[in-house]
Amino acid sequence: MHWYAYTVAGWLMLVGSFGIVRSRDLVHAVVSLSVAQSGTYVLLLAVGYQSGAPAPVFAGGPAPSTRVVDPVVQAMALTDIVVSATVTALLLALSIQVHARHRTVDPDALTRLRG
């Protein structure tokens, strides 16, 4: 079973990207991008997991020991979440403006930038 979490991570990345490829709506494409990105969270957290180990927070919890779930990947995932949330906001803002200027958010109908 050890490959299960990793497979989920790869699957999320693939299916999210597939979502952008077949998208008919830019907002859908942006959300698909977030799905793809959640693959990175799953991968990072899966990499840092240790069976039966507690969380790496010691106040009032377990006595300090290094036998905890890897906090480094958690810190990376947190950074990743904040980065993606803010970038997603920027992407949605751009989508709104695309709609305001083109009156459509269907990638198939956005044909001005060609060649």
Partner 1 sequence: MSRSALAPLAVVAPILAACVVLVAGRRAPRLVIDVLATATAAGVAATTGFLAASTLGGRAVTWSGGWSPVGGRSVGVVLVADPLGAGLACLAGLLTAVAMLYSWRYLASLQAHYHTLVLLFLAGLVGFALTGDLFNMFVFFELMGAAAYALTALRIEEPDSVQGGLTFAVINSLGAYLSLMGVGLIYARTGELGLARIGRALGGQRADALVIVAFVLVVTGFLVKAAVAPMHFWLADAHAVAPAPICVLMSGVMVELGVYAVARVYTTAFAGVLPGGVLRTALLVPGLLTVTVGSGMCLIQRHIKRLLAYSTIAHTGLFVVAFAVLTPGSVAGAALYVLGHAGIKGALFLVTGLLLDRFGSVDERDLFGRGSRRDPGGWFFLAGGVALAGAPPLGPGIGKAVAEDAAGRAGYPWLVAAFVVGSAVTGGAVLRAGLRVFLGLGHPPQPPASETQGSGEQPETPSLVRAVPRTMLAAIVLLLLAGALPGVVPPLWVAAGRAARMFLDRTGYAGQTLDAAPPTPVAPLPGLGWTTTGVVLGLVSVTLAVAVALLGVYRPRRAGWRGPVRSPAPVELLHRLHSGHVGDYVAWLFLGVAVVGALIAVPLLAGR
Partner 2 sequence: MSRTVRLVMFGVAAAVLAPLFGLAIAGAPPFGTASHPYRDLAVAAALRNATANVVSSINFDQRGLDTLVEETILLASVVGATIVLRASTGDVRRELAGDDRALAAVTLVSVAVLPGTLLIGLDVVVHGHLTPGGGFQGGVVLATGLHLLYLASRYETLERLRPLHWYRWSEGLSTAAFGGIGVGGLATGAGFLANVLPHGSFADLLSGGTVPLLNIAVGVAVAGGVVVLLAQFLDQALRIASERDGKG
| Contacting range for partner 1; rule: CB under 8 A; set: 52-60, 61-69, 83-91 | 83-91
- Give least dist CB 41 to partner 2, A: 14
Distances (CA, A) of 105 to 24, 102, 114: 8, 8, 17
Which entry of partner 1, partner 2, none binds 25, CB below 5 to 8 A by partner kind? none
Does 67 bind partner 1 (CB under 8 A)? Our answer is no
The answer to whether the CB of 24 falls within 8 A of the CB of 106 is: yes
Which entry of partner 2, partner 1, none binds 7, CB below 5 to 8 A by partner kind? partner 2
The answer to whether the CB of 39 falls within 8 A of the CB of 9 is: yes
